[in-house]
Each structure stands twice: as structure tokens, then as C-alpha cells.
A and B are shown apart, each in its own frame.
Chain A
């Protein structure tokens, strides 16, 4: 009886293990990971758009923020390592260094204390 349970568990674990072997870390290497992803960011009167959206990017893909702001400020990118981007009033672009490590990286506005986008790097 215990044997049946044990074999059932082992089987389940084995199936899950096989699932893992099927799709291993190849999602970052194919596809066009050199063209930058552009995100339009608008700061207006104490709010920012986008407001916490999730954006999928590939590992090593540069991200460009196209910023329109009514005041200067600072953006923090919470990756490993952290990046700080300064922007001025008016329209500007800020480049986020390509992120090699898979994960979810918060891009937040330091002054407004909100998450602008979450980059899903895979």
C-alpha cells in the first residue's frame, strides 16, 4: 500500500521532471533580442502612465524609456545590480542597461514612489 503511494509520488515527480527537460532556458536565445523595447512613460501632475504594467523582455534586450515629464526626477531599476536613471522636464529618452538575469524587475519612480512597469525578463 505504502509502496503504491510511493510509486505514485515518484511517478508524479518524474513527470514533472520530464516537463522541466522539455523547455530549458531557450526562450531567451531565440528571437530578436537586440532591438530595444520602447516603453512610453508620461509623468503628469503626480501620476505616471503606465501604472504597474508588466512588460515582457528578453534577456540581454535593451529597454528604452520614452519619457514625457512635467518635472525632473529619478527612476530606479531594481535588478541585480540596481540602475538609476535621471530624466529632465519635457521629453527625453532613458536607456535601461540590458538585463541578463531572468526574473521580474521593478522599474519605479523614486519621487512618486510607484512602480511604472515590471519587466518580466526571460
Chain B
């Protein structure tokens, strides 16, 4: 989980202990039991999909909160927050020093990559609300015409693929690139990101951000596990609703590339766990083959493997005459999102809490000249989580198993609407096996590393 490639000076210190074997096995058994329990005992008519149009699931939230979050003042406040973080990060990246104490590294690898998804799990689609590239695009667009429309319409067949590539680009600099903890590369990555996002927004309009901004796709995908929704889901108007994460999950927009996004998220986190394991460390260090090449290949291999296992799991079933088998992975990809979320929480929890605090402390001194802008420079990190390894390990297993449970239920519900009557139960088996494989694989990596 330490960025900057192998054996570099990452921005984390100690890593988590591996899971005790009893706990990992208990988790695996629970995952298996729940999977087959759901398959045999769960409902036979879809609860979250295929409802009559106009029938909205969920309870309206408190009117005050609904009005507040729909107000223009709120939107302005959110955009300002995003811009403030952006400007501060840019300031530290451009004028700060190339030392590990530059807060930009913590902002990039911890606050943005882990903090944002966790915030989205709790609060809804955060990046859509705060995204500085959207703000800049909207500001420029307002001067030159309609910001929502671009020169061309975003091609439907492109779907989420650009976002999948963007996420791959991030995990590459986080996990593989040996100079990921030097200021120049991080600065360049951010500059290219901003540039591509602004160009894309100009060419395709604001739809580009919904489909191709890796952070917006990531944030919105995880926000489908939160309890928040709006009656008018396309914008930020309509009434605020509180509803079951399962009902929310069913509203993930199915587009080409969704399975790719999920495969990159899960595969990269699995690779992150794997590369700290003793067998991999010894392999990389013991051979003359370039470690850089091996790490690149392994990252790609993990993402592709997850994708292939998922594709096989979803496509190995009978289909209705009108359904294209190749569309099934994207149709079912939403059910992997809870497994991804559970695994991300298990893998990054300590990192977020401890290195996140450290970044807050370093943020008071962006230029590394001894200043104390926000008064946090004298604070010390609270390592309480690390001092309770058993409780931490239990929390990790619970997160992974819970993610698995939600995923299996979501897959079951989707199968009831998509698969033909004859294959409604048997058709789910391959996907179930794939999901059990992911969860047990994830638990094994948490145990072996």
C-alpha cells in the first residue's frame, strides 16, 4: 500500500499485520454460506429492478436537508471547497519542495484516492459536487456558450472505458512507477489529468465528466452504496431520498466499460496487497529481470485476470433470445462494487486514518519552511488503530464479508430480471463462484501479505 513502486520511500510507515488464519477462514466460510443461502432462500421476484415506472423506492429525507442540498448556495459552497483544495494542492506542488514532507503526496495518494471514495460511500456523489475540473469547465463554458454541450456528443460505445484507463493510470503511478513519490511525476500526472479533463469537457460537454473522469466515475459508483438518492437522478434537483443501498445499487447506469472499471479497481487493490507478500518480494529481488517490468506485468495481469473471471462468471449462462451475451458483464458489474468497496476499506483503512492525519499535520507547512498555517503542525498522529491489531483484523474481515453479502444479493436481484425463467437459479451459479473466488482471493491476500 506504499506508493512509489518497490522498496522506495513511500509515504506510509509500517504496514498492517496479515490477517490471522482463523479469522480469514471464518470470513471465507461465512462468504460461502451466505452465497448459497441467498441462492436457495432468497426472493423469486425482483425487488430493486424492473419496477413499474414512476414508482420510486425510498423515503423522502428531512425537507430542510433536501432543500439545503438543492440550493444554489450549497452548490457554490461545494465548488468552492473543491477549488480551495485544488489551489492549495497546486500551490504546494508548484512552490513546495521535493521532499516526502510535502503535503501534496498525502493529498494525492490518501485524501484523493482513498478519502474521496470513502466520503462517497457515506455522503453520496462527492466528486460530482466538488470537482474542480467541472468548476473550471463550467466557468469557461459560461463565458463561451452552454457548458453542458460540447462540439460533439459523447459516443455511447466509449462508455466508461476512458475512466477505466484513467484509474489504471493512477494505480500505475501509485504502485508501479518507481518515482511516484517525487514531486515532478505527481505534478505532471495532475497536470495531464486536468488538461485532458478540460479538453474532453470542451469537446464533449459535461457528459464527459460523468463517463470519462476516473474520479467522478469512482466516486459516483461508490456513492451507489450510500443511502442517499434524488428523485431526479440526472441532476441535483428533485427531492432528497433515503433508501437502501441495494435499491441505490440497482440504479447504476449500465454502459460499456463498467466491467472494466470494476476490474481495474479490484485488480489493482489485489495487486497492492500481493506485492508486499514475501514470495513476490523475494521473486522481484532475486531475479535479474527488471522489477519495473515485472510489476507492470503483474498489475496488468491482476486487472485482466479479475476481468476474465468476472466475464466468465456472467457469460456462462443461458440467455433470452434477445439478450446479447457480451452485454452481461456490464449488466452485472454493479454487483462487484460492494465487494470492491469492502476490500478497499479493509486494505486502506489504516492508511487513510494514519497517513491521512499525517497529511493534515504536514498541510500546515506546504513549502517545508517551518510554517504552521493551520495550526496543525504540532499535532501528532493517533495510531490507536494499529495498536489494536485483532480488532482491526476483525473489522477488515467484516468489511469484506459484508461487501460480499451485498454483492451476492444485488447479483441475485439483477439475474431475476435479466436471465430467462429456466436459468434464473442455475444461471447465477457461475457468477456466484466468481464472487466467492474474489472474496476468498481477497481474504487470502490480506492473510498472506
Contact = CB atoms under 8 A, between A and B. Distances in A.
Interface string A100-111: 011111101000
Interface of B: 2, 7-10, 13-18, 20, 22-23, 26-27, 30, 33-34, 37-38, 41-43, 276, 278, 281-282, 285-286, 354, 381, 383, 386-391, 393-394, 397-398, 401-402, 405, 409
A100 to B, nearest CB: 8
B198 to A, nearest CB: 37
Contacts of A13: 398, 401-402
B23 A25 contact: no
Contacts of B37: 5, 8
A115 interface: yes
Given A19-B23, A115-B281, A115-B285, A12 B30 contact: yes
Nearest to A22: B390
A118 B17 contact: no
B390 A20 contact: yes
Nearest to A122: B17
B391 A20 contact: yes
B245 to A, nearest CB: 14
A-B pairs with lowest CB-CB distance, top 10: A103-B14, A20-B394, A52-B281, A80-B13, A104-B15, A12-B30, A52-B282, A102-B389, A114-B285, A105-B14
Contacts of B285: 51-52, 114-115
22 contacts: A5-B42, A8-B34, A8-B37, A12-B30, A12-B34, A12-B401, A13-B402, A16-B394, A20-B391, A20-B393, A52-B278, A52-B285, A78-B9, A80-B14, A80-B381, A104-B14, A104-B15, A104-B276, A105-B13, A118-B276, A118-B278, A122-B17
B390 A108 contact: no
Given A52-B285, A82-B13, A101-B14, A113 B387 contact: no
Contact of A115 (B7, B17, B18): B7
Interface of A: 1-2, 4-5, 8-9, 12-13, 15-17, 19-20, 23-25, 51-54, 76, 78-82, 99, 101-106, 108, 113-115, 118, 120-122
Given A8-B37, A16-B30, A103 B23 contact: no
A95 B401 CA distance: 41
A76 B387 CA distance: 22
A89 to B, nearest CB: 22
Contacts of A113: 7-8
Given A5-B37, A16-B23, A20-B394, A25 B387 contact: yes
B403 to A, nearest CB: 12
B22 to A, nearest CB: 7
A1 B30 contact: no
A82 B33 CA distance: 43
B13 A1 contact: no
B26 A1 contact: no
B7 A114 contact: yes
Contacts of A8: 33-34, 37
A54 B351 CA distance: 21
Contacts of A16: 23, 26-27, 30, 394, 397-398, 401
B247 to A, nearest CB: 13
A25 B388 CA distance: 6
Nearest to A52: B281
A112 B236 CA distance: 54
A97 to B, nearest CB: 13
Among B7, B20, B405, chain A packs the most CB atoms within 10 A around the CB of B7
